[in-house]
Amino acid sequence: MSRTVFVLVLVAACAPSGWTDITLRYTFDVKFAAFLPAEAQAQAKQAISAAIPHENHVRIKSEKAYSNAGPLGMIADYGRNEFTLIDPKTKRYATVGMSEFADKLGALQKPPAIPPEAQQILRNMHFDVQSNKTGQIGLIQGIQSEENVITLTMQVPGMPGAASAIRMEIHAWLAQANEIRRVPALQELADYSARATKAMDPTQMIQKMLSQFPGMGDQMTEPLQELWKLGGNLVVKQQLAVYIPAMAQAMQLQGTVVPGLDANAPLTEVHMELADISTAAIPDSTFALPADYQQAPFEQVAQALVQASPPLPPAAPKH
């Protein structure tokens, strides 16, 4: 999921329907496998921090929600069904309808040309998704939460065996139903989550982006639906881990010795947690455009999001 889409899912899943002002503070952290080069890890983390800050605040008042989208600010106005992107660096802004956002952003994120051989591999990849509750209960920011796990497995054609699969695990801690009823702020968040879905379904946005890769859009429908179910249930903590055991397998077959190599460890981990929830009053100025900002075409303002896209995980060491 791109950084922009992640923020949109966060805003769409957290905006409330009532009149209580709510501020949510989330923390993000990215970790790489210990055997990856330290210099490459540092460079990747620096680039990622520019796109996904360590902390993100979502401020909600009535039908509006304000959040940061990397270098830009973003206002979601569910009364008008529109997004406004704000670039403080150039003092420009752009407003676009929620129904248009996915197509316009997708047009700016054209993937590189894919060779015919790679296209065939993508078409033949097999995706499997499993979702279950672990029964684990935890207390996060005073909110009783239950752990849910979604496991997405991608089997690469021509490489039989479980070791060749790419696996992504998402551990999401969801606020329990009785907690939502107990805490007024959570109740408002839950109420608006359903309304926000009608205004914009982030899964459709992701599908449109994935449709640029042959065969992936259709196969990812079920996993995306499972992910959106989690978002609509007030995620207070989430850990995403990517496992590529084939990488370790290839090193072992080549006789490569890598200190700390563990085929069962995740290559990359992304952690998100609700660090604070406040009902302090939010000034209307939070959602107002500065007087000296100029309106600009969406493509010009949104280009900052594309340029800030985080890189792929660093490559494994070569010996």
- What would the DSSP string read from start to end of 279-304? -----GGGGSPPTT-EE--HHHHHHH
Place of tokens 């406004």: 84
- Tens digits of residue pLDDT in 37-93: 788 788 877 777 766 778 888 898 888 889 887 788 999 898 898 999 999 999 999
| 192 and 19 Cβ atoms separated by less than 8 Å | no
Query: In this structure, which amino acid lies at residue 55?
Result: E
Residue 50 burial (CB count, 10 A): 14
Task: Specify which of 129-133, 216-220, 258-262 reaches the highest per-range mean pLDDT.
Answer: 129-133
Determine the pLDDT at residue 314: 46
- Dist. CA 55–CA 25, nearest whole Å: 7
CA-derived radius of gyration, the chain: 20
Arithmetic mean of pLDDT, 173-192: 79
Kindly tell me if the per-residue pLDDT of 253 is higher than 70: no
CA distance 71 to 69: 6
DSSP per position, 86-122: EETTTTEEEEEEHHHHHHHHHHH-PPPP--HHHHHHH
Residue 288 pLDDT more than 90?
yes
Question: Percentage of the chain with pLDDT > 90?
Answer: 17
Q: How far apart are CA 128 and CA 142, in angstroms?
A: 35
243's CB contacts (< 8 A; 6+ apart) are: 166, 167, 168, 169, 264, 265, 266, 267
Domain extents in the chain: 3-307
> What is the length of the chain?
319
Higher pLDDT: 243 or 10? It is: 243
In tens, the pLDDT along 97-112 reads 988 887 787 778 766 6
pLDDT digits (tens, 9 = 90+) for 185-230: 777 777 656 666 666 666 666 666 666 665 555 666 666 666 566 5
- Strands of the chain, DSSP E: 22-32, 55-61, 64-69, 72-77, 82-87, 92-97, 126-140, 143-155, 166-175, 235-243, 268-278, 294-295
Q: Cβ neighbours of residue 121 under 8 Å, at least 6 residues apart? A: 156, 157, 158
Cα 203 to chain centroid, rounded: 11
DSSP 8-state secondary structure symbol assigned to residue 141: T
**Phi, psi at 241, each rounded to 5°:** -130, 135
Distances (CA, A) of 167 to 128, 129, 147: 10, 10, 19
pLDDT at position 312 is 45
- Return the DSSP state at 82: E
Q: Is 302 exposed, middle or buried (0-12, 13-18, 19+ CB in 10 A)?
A: buried
* Largest pairwise CA distance in the chain: 63
Give the pLDDT score at 304. 81
Structure tokens at 37: 């080069």
